[in-house]
A and B are shown apart, each in its own frame.
Chain A
Amino acid sequence: MAEAARGRAGTAGASAAAEIVFRGVTKYYAGRKVAAVKDLSLVVPAGEICVLVGPSGAGKTTAMKLVNRLIDFDEGDITIDGRSVRSLDAVELRRGIGYVIQQIGLFPHMTIGDNVGVVPRLLGWPKKRIRERTAELIELVGLEAADSERYPSQLSGGQRQRVGLARALAADPKVMLMDEPFGALDPITRDRLQNEFLRLHEVERKTVIFVTHDIDEAIKIGDRIAILREGGVLAQYDTPDAILAAPADDFVARFVGTDRGLKRLALRRLDEIELDPADAAYEAGLRLAAATTLRDALSQLLTAGDRQCLVVDADGNAIGTLTIDHVSALLSSREPEAVS
């Protein structure tokens, strides 16, 4: 599935992603003494997903909207590929940045196809090119070609957010801003859309700033996570694994949860760690697929009452042995273990 999607990527216009840099950015709202965003500095490498996460009032959405200047900052600067967002006309800037919001905001009076084609039309693309790009995106986000003639009111919530994604991707922006895009969906639909978004990100490799208040979503989606605390102060900015392994302070530790060890195990699959050699002595016991996460593997070991088990590849051949002691050793290590 992912391979098929990757195959299409060749035609999807491989626009380079852009690096986003926040440099000492501060934003005060009129009449408020406490900053919404306070001296925020961080670098989002090109093509990566940076998740802004934190409690309400931590300035996540404000920080995101500073990038496309829906909100203007007071101090500091934000650059995209080295160019300050302030050096560009706000309207031009926004046309080059994909924008997805929780309430989706599809235009109810336009068909799905016309919704997806909004920004290309603003940019004056030829009709034929708009048609082709729209059809391509509708397929890419998992909708049917016939859906392009329908209206938003005729789609389910999950389908609408697929359209929202397609619309944001339409003009092939280098940067995407996503404000709790899956927050209003039921858990099953949300999980599916998260997975498809990650697959989509492999195909259309944009630099993404993704806002959520859900730490589990942040861990799942983010290449890097910026944890903000009240007053818009950056508490920690690192990879999910590094944050779970070593929270910077009590606030971060509380925010990621006391089960952070288990969350960290969920980040890695059995085929991504160094296993002990396969031992025929455990042939009769539990057998786990190589694609199982360490968290699920631990759960299954504990449930079965075993201290070790065989790990098998897709064809059922044993490729190694996993022991509870090994999992426990991984939990206490700070650095993620190198992929074998």
Chain B
Amino acid sequence: MNGLLLAAPPPPPVIPNFGGPPGGPHGCIATNGTFCWDWVTAHWGDILQPHLVEHLELTLIAVGIGFVIAFVSALLAHRRHWFEAPFGAFSALLYTIPSLALFQLLVPFTGLTVLTIEIALVGYTLLILFRNTLAGLRGVPTDVLEAASGMGLTRRQRLTRVELPLALPSIMAGLRIAVVTTISLATVAAYITPLGLGAPIFYGLQTNFTTEFVATGALAVLLAVAADLLLVGVQRLLTPWSRARRPA
């Protein structure tokens, strides 16, 4: 039975049962090409939602690991200037490699796995997170640093109580860009293994039924917008001082 299936030629494209009643074609078939809400409601539970959760996981893991690497590297480069050039060049190099090519380059080493996807996604976050964190640390006014030292803050206290809080807007700006670009890039990951919102998009592109990839693509955009808004909110909570203005 199994052998038979493997040997058989690929089946003709299955026209999905667009959420209509079993056995009978649904109205959406007749109007294929326009958006089919019935498909969306029918497959929210078994296609859209699981892939959305996978997508979120791919993104969070990539940005989380990327942030840790970039943050530590930026602290190092802030303390030891020589470190900036090599790490900056390394992260810039990663950033310029086309994503499909990078996936392809990694496959011989890490296979068609989540690891391949995450390595590539992490690579793309490094440049922006490193640059923004370092720029934030370097942007602290010198008079503030002099006052801090003159008042008797140790180097560590200066970093944690003055430099990092003041670098926060720049770090958050970097995080927002990294999250949005990673959400977008992670759709390409389905090229390696069918994970995330990229999977239904690739599948949808292989059929002549547009609703699937339109709905999934829209979901990816909504996810990016929601994540961005969330980060804006977090930043406003963390930096009340940046909005303080002299009353008119």
Q: A110 contacts which chain B residues (CB < 8 A)?
A: 241
* Closest chain A residue to B143, Cβ basis: A103
Cβ of B162 < 8 Å from any Cβ of A?
Answer: yes
Q: B147 contacts which chain A residues (CB < 8 A)?
A: 99, 101, 104-107
Number of residue pairs spanning A and B whose beta carbons lie under 8 angstroms apart: 77
Cβ of A280 < 8 Å from any Cβ of B?
Answer: no
Which residues of A148-194 have CB atoms within 8 Å of chain B's CB atoms?
150-151, 153-155, 167, 177
Which residues of B191-248 have CB atoms within 8 Å of chain A's CB atoms?
239, 241-242, 244-247
Task: Please judge, given known A-B contacts A150-B244, A151-B241, whether A118 and B166 are in contact too, CB under 8 Å.
Answer: no
Stretch of A86-94, A198-206, A288-296 with 4 or more beta carbons under 8 angstroms from chain B: A86-94
Task: Please judge, given known A-B contacts A93-B152, A118-B151, whether A105 and B241 are in contact too, CB under 8 Å.
Answer: no
Cβ of A119 < 8 Å from any Cβ of B?
Answer: yes
Tell me, in angstroms, the Cα distance from A293 to B112 when the chains sit together: 90
Cβ of A2 < 8 Å from any Cβ of B?
Answer: no
Q: A154 contacts which chain B residues (CB < 8 A)?
A: 244-247
Cβ of B94 < 8 Å from any Cβ of A?
Answer: no
Which residues of B161-192 have CB atoms within 8 Å of chain A's CB atoms?
162, 165-166, 168
A94 close to B245 (CB less than 8 A) = no
B153 close to A105 (CB less than 8 A) = no
Which residues of A278-336 have CB atoms within 8 Å of chain B's CB atoms?
none
Tell me, in angstroms, the Cα distance from A106 to B144 when the chains sit together: 6
B interface secondary structure, majority: helix
B153 close to A70 (CB less than 8 A) = no
Q: B148 contacts which chain A residues (CB < 8 A)?
A: 105, 107
B162 close to A107 (CB less than 8 A) = yes
- For chain B, the bracket of interface size reads 20 to 34
Cβ of B34 < 8 Å from any Cβ of A?
Answer: no
From A99, A107, A153, contact of B144 by CB (8 A): A107
Q: Interface residue count for A (Cβ, 8 Å)? A: 29
Which residues of A69-121 have CB atoms within 8 Å of chain B's CB atoms?
70, 91-96, 99, 101, 103-111, 118-119
Cβ of B149 < 8 Å from any Cβ of A?
Answer: yes
Shortest Cβ gap from B138 to chain A (Å): 16
Tell me, in angstroms, the Cα distance from A155 to B144 when the chains sit together: 16
Tell me, in angstroms, the Cα distance from A99 to B151 when the chains sit together: 6
B239 close to A109 (CB less than 8 A) = yes
Cβ of B46 < 8 Å from any Cβ of A?
Answer: no
Cβ of A212 < 8 Å from any Cβ of B?
Answer: no
Q: Mark A133-152, 1 if CB is under 8 A from B, else 0.
A: 00000000000000000110
Residues of B within 8 A of A (CB): 141, 143-154, 157, 162, 165-166, 168, 239, 241-242, 244-247
Extra inter-chain contacts (20) besides given A108-B166, A150-B244, CB under 8 Å:
A70-B146, A91-B154, A93-B152, A94-B150, A95-B151, A99-B147, A99-B151, A101-B146, A103-B143, A104-B143, A105-B143, A105-B145, A107-B162, A108-B144, A109-B168, A109-B242, A110-B241, A118-B151, A122-B151, A151-B244
Which 4 pairs of residues, A with B, have the shortest CB-CB distance? A105-B147, A103-B143, A94-B152, A95-B152
